[in-house]
């Protein structure tokens, strides 16, 4: 029997994930605000989760992935997506037919800690964004129970995600030199493959931390990238505040997932090889 996937908020990760799903086993429908159809998906629904009326007559689906992006970095934008939008969607869905609801979350739901954190670590978000996402997780657990799986991604990098390179070139970064100030990253292609992997698991866990296998001090990452770019490394400023987080992906590895980009530095190196040279001033 063919599974029916509704991907709500079908952006970059969705478009990378869809080709990893066997079309004979999955009917893939993208729900997004833009009317432009996506070649990677079999069908397309134009809707906005914030507008309840736009969600009328959703197709029946066995699986949902929710990865809607807030329109801005404001509490109101996050409330709209992670409270209003989720409630509108669940009201419109036939949850009796639903087998699995995958909620794309973030490691922002954790607080700072000196030791590696995992799926059972205490959640103590300090930012409004992390607090909104944690509240959404808790509400979905109450509403969906065992049908819910949460994927908490760390920082994404990959094609099209070049802000760090631009900031290093422009000498816009400053950093606290503390050894415990860690960078946790996952390549966007691996993030997409994680979604496909979890969709295909017969009995996925309630939650997965999705990050690569080599968290490293942020100053080491910046120094490496600055050297590759041929620019000066960011200046140290011990007065800068920081929240160090250090994550373990062991549960994901135990589930059978294999990373294409397990090592952060090598992943960035491969990405840099595909980047065009910056324009030179005449």
The mean pLDDT of 242-246, rounded to a whole number, is: 88
Q: Could you tell me if 41 and 30 are in contact, meaning their C-beta atoms sit under 8 angstroms apart?
A: yes
Instruction: Scan for tokens 């050894």, then name that residue.
Output: 179
240 is a domain residue: no
15 is a domain residue: yes
Q: What angle do CA 17, 127, 143 make, to 5 degrees?
A: 60
The tens digit of pLDDT for each residue in 46-93 reads 999 999 999 998 999 999 999 999 999 999 999 999 999 999 999 999
3 state SS of 37: coil
Q: For residue 162, what pLDDT band results from cuts at 50, 70 and 90?
A: confident
Calculated CA dihedral for residues 204, 210, 214, 216, nearest 10 degrees: -150
Q: Phi/psi zone of residue 57: left (φ > 0), alpha (ψ -120 to 50 degrees), beta?
A: left
pLDDT reading at 281 higher than 70: no
122 is a domain residue: yes
pLDDT reading at 205 higher than 60: yes
- The reported pLDDT for the residue numbered 263 is 98
Containing H/E element for 229? helix 218-229
The structure's pTM equals 0.95
80 is a domain residue: yes
What are the backbone angles phi and psi of residue 18, rounded to the nearest 5°?
Answer: -50, -40
- The reported pLDDT for the residue numbered 278 is 59
The mean pLDDT of 189-216, rounded to a whole number, is: 97
239 is a domain residue: no
Which domain does 66 fall in, by range? Answer: 3-157+187-213+245-261
Calculated CA dihedral for residues 7, 11, 13, 18, nearest 10 degrees: 50
The mean pLDDT of 192-217, rounded to a whole number, is: 97
pLDDT reading at 172 higher than 70: yes
76 is a domain residue: yes
CATH number at residue 111: 3.40.50.720
Q: Where are the beta strands (DSSP E) in 63-201?
A: 63-66, 100-106, 148-153, 155-157, 174-175, 182-183, 185-187
The tens digit of pLDDT for each residue in 122-155 reads 999 999 999 999 999 999 999 999 999 999 999 9
- The reported pLDDT for the residue numbered 243 is 82
d(CA 92, CA 250): 36
Containing H/E element for 43? strand 43-46
218 is a domain residue: no
The tens digit of pLDDT for each residue in 209-228 reads 999 999 999 999 999 999 99
pLDDT reading at 282 higher than 50: no
170 is a domain residue: no
Chain-wide mean pLDDT for the chain?
94
Q: Could you tell me if 212 and 190 are in contact, meaning their C-beta atoms sit under 8 angstroms apart?
A: yes
Total tally of structural domains belonging to the chain:
1
pLDDT reading at 280 higher than 50: no
């Amino acid at each position: 029997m063919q599974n029916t996937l509704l991907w709500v908020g079908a952006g970059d990760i969705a478009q990378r994930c869809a080709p990893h799903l066997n079309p004979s086993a999955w009917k893939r429908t993208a729900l997004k605000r833009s009317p432009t159809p996506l070649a990677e998906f079999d069908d397309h629904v134009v809707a906005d989760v914030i507008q309840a009326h736009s969600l009328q007559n959703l197709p029946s689906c066995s699986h949902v992935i929710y990865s809607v992006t807030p329109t801005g970095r404001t509490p109101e934008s996050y409330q709209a997506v992670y409270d209003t939008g989720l409630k509108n969607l669940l009201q419109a869905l036939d949850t009796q037919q639903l087998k699995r609801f995958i909620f794309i979350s973030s490691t922002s739901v954790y607080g700072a800690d000196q030791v590696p954190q995992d799926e059972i670590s205490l959640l103590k978000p300090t930012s409004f964004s992390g607090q909104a996402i944690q509240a959404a997780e808790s509400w979905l657990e109450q509403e969906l129970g065992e049908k819910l799986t949460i994927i908490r991604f760390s920082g994404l990098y990959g094609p099209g995600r070049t802000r760090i390179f631009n900031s290093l070139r422009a000498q816009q970064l400053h950093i606290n030199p503390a050894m415990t100030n860690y960078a946790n990253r996952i390549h966007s292609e691996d993030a997409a493959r994680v979604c496909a992997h979890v969709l295909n698991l017969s009995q996925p866990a309630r939650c997965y931390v999705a990050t690569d296998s080599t968290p490293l001090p942020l100053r080491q990452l910046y120094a490496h990238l600055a050297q590759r770019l041929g620019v000066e490394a960011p200046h140290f400023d011990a007065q800068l505040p920081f929240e160090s987080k250090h994550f373990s992906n062991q549960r994901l590895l135990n589930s059978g997932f294999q990373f294409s980009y397990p090592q952060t530095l090598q992943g960035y190196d491969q990405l840099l090889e595909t980047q065009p040279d910056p324009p030179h001033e005449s």
